[in-house]
Amino acid sequence: MEFTQEVQKATDPIYQKISKVMPEIEWSVHAPYIHRINQLKKEKNAIILAHNYQTPEIYHGIADVAADSLALAIEAAKTNADIIVMAGVHFMAETSKLMSPEKKVLLPDMDAGCSLSSSVTGKDVRLLKEKYPGVPVVSYVNTSADVKSETDICCTSANAVKIVESLGVKKVIFLPDDYLAKYVASQTDVEIIAWKGICMVHDQFNEKEIYDIREKNPGIKIIAHPECPPEVIKASDFAGSTGGMIDYVKNNQPQKVMMVTECSMSDNIQVENPNVEFIRPCNLCHHMKKITLPKILDCLENETGEIIMDKKTIEKARIPVERMAAIGR
């Protein structure tokens, strides 16, 4: 696609916003796709929901809503668009379909998965319920519709503790993230029976890395995602969901900060916080990076990658997501 004068004029306001994190030569490749995608959205009454881990050209260039998993689920239920394009991974697209079953939900790359989601199945949950009869199941939203169908209530990292305590029980089954389960257990008296899944991105961080960064950057604030190992969270100044991390930077405006999470987050938040210096630990989610502008354009033009689920699965799996959304953050 060509970087014409028309494209340059139409997309220049977007580039001016993100120019500090993207070279001009790189923008000239992205801009034609951004221009055409934004045109198609209007023509087809489509909305693009993007997770916070998307790259800046998607996050700032074409996303109608860029947010964490909880906010994306809520937005999917509210939208009046005919088509939802999920710039995220498969479980997020499934969740959008659960919340808006009458909409056409598209995923630009059907192989964009999640190490957490793939770590547990509906059969695994049924076996857990047999082993622990009567114990409610709390599933991280990072799970398949198959797992959600066996779940009492979902949660995100933004509200996991609140969700667990809302049940008013002494014990819960919590899956699939073992590190998030440990974090929740440290914040509540409820006994947590955990599954042993991990996020392949957050599992790469370690305590030594945190201390090394502090030594080289005196006064730095280090904020971590609860999917990180417990020792990383303990060594950090704050732990929260991607949305919580964004709010921390926005509200506190630290002189220097390190966000212990997926690499693109720092670029996206740098744009909105120009006075904050970001130290970037670069652990990429290769699943998120499968979502690109050319794939989004193809998906929207041809309406490919549609999420199809049977009515019974939708009805059953939607309940725990709606319960989560009703409780909120």
Per-residue pLDDT tens for 145-198? 999 999 999 999 989 999 999 999 999 999 999 999 999 999 999 999 999 999
| Same-domain pairing of 173 and 100 | no
Specify if 308 maps to a domain: no
| Same-domain pairing of 14 and 107 | yes
Regions in the chain scoring below 50 on pLDDT: none
In this structure, are residues 246 and 261 in contact, taking their beta carbons and an 8 Å threshold? no
Rounded-to-integer distance, Cα 130 and Cα 133, Å = 5
| Same-domain pairing of 13 and 107 | yes
Specify if 322 maps to a domain: no
- What is the reported pLDDT for 289? 95
Specify if 316 maps to a domain: no
- What is the reported pLDDT for 280? 84
Residue 167, Cβ density class (10 Å: 0-12 exposed, 13-18 middle, ≥19 buried): middle
Specify if 325 maps to a domain: no
Specify if 243 maps to a domain: yes
Residue ending a domain, choose from 198, 228, 260: 198
| Same-domain pairing of 154 and 76 | no
| Same-domain pairing of 106 and 189 | no
Instruction: Collapse the DSSP code of 150 into the 3-class scheme (helix H, G, I; strand E, B; otherwise coil) and give the result.
Output: coil
277 strand-pairing partners: 256
| Same-domain pairing of 210 and 273 | yes
Distance of CA 307 to CAs 44, 98, 147, Å? 18, 10, 16
- What is the reported pLDDT for 39? 97
| Same-domain pairing of 238 and 170 | no
Specify if 160 maps to a domain: yes
Specify if 326 maps to a domain: no
The CATH number that applies at residue 253 is 3.40.50.10800
- What is the reported pLDDT for 281? 74
Which pTM was predicted? 0.92
Number of structural domains the chain divides into: 3
Domain that holds residue 90: 5-113+288-302
Specify if 269 maps to a domain: yes
In this structure, are residues 158 and 70 in contact, taking their beta carbons and an 8 Å threshold? yes
In this structure, are residues 72 and 96 in contact, taking their beta carbons and an 8 Å threshold? yes
| Same-domain pairing of 270 and 231 | yes
Give residue for tokens 């998307």: 54
- What is the reported pLDDT for 247? 94
| Same-domain pairing of 124 and 170 | yes
| Same-domain pairing of 295 and 206 | no
- What is the reported pLDDT for 18? 94
